[in-house]
């Protein structure tokens, strides 16, 4: 019987890549307006190359970008970029369609809700709070707690420990087959592939279920728990 749903955060509950791209674009426009001598497209390319090397959650992105450009940090330009980034991030940080009513329905069905994310704790909680989801989840496991990223079993087992449940009592939903599906399956959970958030054009995610809308979770739980 399924007693808990474990969610990936980015590109499962919210469109992280859309948020990131809009925030970076706003930051670049603001830095150019503040005096940065670089074309928009070239700046975007250089910032993305740093993200590719350091990871999409890299927190010193503008420090490194401006240091590479000027040999040091121009704080006038950096502050303009950070303010624009944060403003655009908040504006673009929205849940996917049907996420909120689905979470509420799952809670009404008596299920526990958890998040397992590779994001740092501060960033994960900020996103959940911006979305007003922070009060809905019983357990949130981030990289800061696990110190290992998915598909390592460590974050999944931490979630199980805090939920006080067995793997077969949990359903994991995520958009990244190699991390979310493989990691959860390895510890014995059933899996749901969030195709609506897939950015890799994954053909065969290896999941137990494959959904195009998060609202489909309700019927999956009913099927697993034999609720008519």
Measured distance CA(80)–CA(66) in Å, rounded: 12
Band (177; pLDDT cuts 50, 70, 90):
very high
3.40.50.1000, 3.40.50.10610, 1.25.10.10, 3.90.550.10: CATH of 4-15+94-224? 3.40.50.1000
- The helix/strand/coil state of 56 is coil
pLDDT classification of 228: cutoffs 50, 70, 90: confident
Q: Note the CATH number of domain 17-92.
A: 1.10.150.520
Paired tokens of 23: 């925030």
DSSP state of 96: P
Q: Where are the domains of the chain?
A: 4-15+94-224, 17-92
- Residue ranges of alpha helices (H) inside the chain are 16-33, 40-54, 61-70, 75-92, 99-108, 121-130, 143-146, 153-163, 182-186, 217-224
What are 118-170's pLDDT values in tens digits?
Answer: 999 999 999 999 999 999 999 999 999 999 999 999 999 999 999 999 999 99
Query: Which class for 203: exposed (0-12), middle (13-18), buried (19 or more C-beta within 10 A)?
Result: exposed
DSSP H or E run through 170: strand 170-174
Residue 45 pLDDT level (bands cut at 50, 70, 90) = very high
Instruction: Give the C-alpha separation, 65 to 164, whole Å.
Output: 44
Determine phi and psi for 135, rounding to 5 degrees.
-90, -5
Percent of the chain with pLDDT over 90: 98
Confidence of residue 41 (pLDDT cuts 50, 70, 90): very high
Give dist(CA 94, CA 77) in Å, integer.
28
pLDDT digits (tens, 9 = 90+) for 56-104: 999 999 999 999 999 999 999 999 999 999 999 999 999 999 999 999 9
In tens, the pLDDT along 104-118 reads 999 999 999 999 999
Backbone angles phi, psi at 55, to 5 degrees: 105, 150
């Amino acid at each position: 019987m399924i007693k808990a749903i474990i969610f990936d955060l980015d590109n499962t509950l919210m469109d992280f890549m859309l948020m990131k791209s809009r925030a970076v674009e706003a930051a670049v426009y603001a830095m150019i307006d503040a005096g940065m001598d670089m074309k928009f497209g070239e700046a975007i390319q250089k910032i993305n190359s740093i993200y590719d090397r350091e990871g999409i959650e890299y927190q010193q992105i503008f420090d490194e970008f401006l240091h590479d450009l000027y040999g040091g940090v121009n704080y006038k330009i950096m502050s303009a970029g950070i303010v624009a980034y944060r403003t655009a991030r908040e504006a673009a940080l929205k849940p996917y369609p049907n996420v909120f009513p689905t979470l509420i329905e799952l809670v009404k069905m008596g299920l526990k809700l958890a998040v397992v994310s590779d994001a740092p704790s501060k960033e994960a909680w900020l996103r959940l709070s911006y979305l007003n989801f922070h009060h809905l989840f019983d357990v949130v496991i981030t990289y800061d707690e696990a110190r290992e990223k998915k598909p390592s079993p460590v974050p999944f087992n931490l979630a199980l420990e805090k939920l006080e449940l067995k793997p077969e009592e949990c359903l994991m939903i995520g958009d990244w087959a190699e991390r979310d599906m493989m990691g959860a399956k390895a510890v014995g959970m059933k899996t749901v592939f969030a195709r609506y958030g897939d950015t890799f054009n994954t053909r065969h995610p290896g999941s137990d279920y494959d959904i195009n809308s998060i609202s489909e979770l309700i019927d999956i739980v009913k099927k697993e728990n034999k609720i008519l």
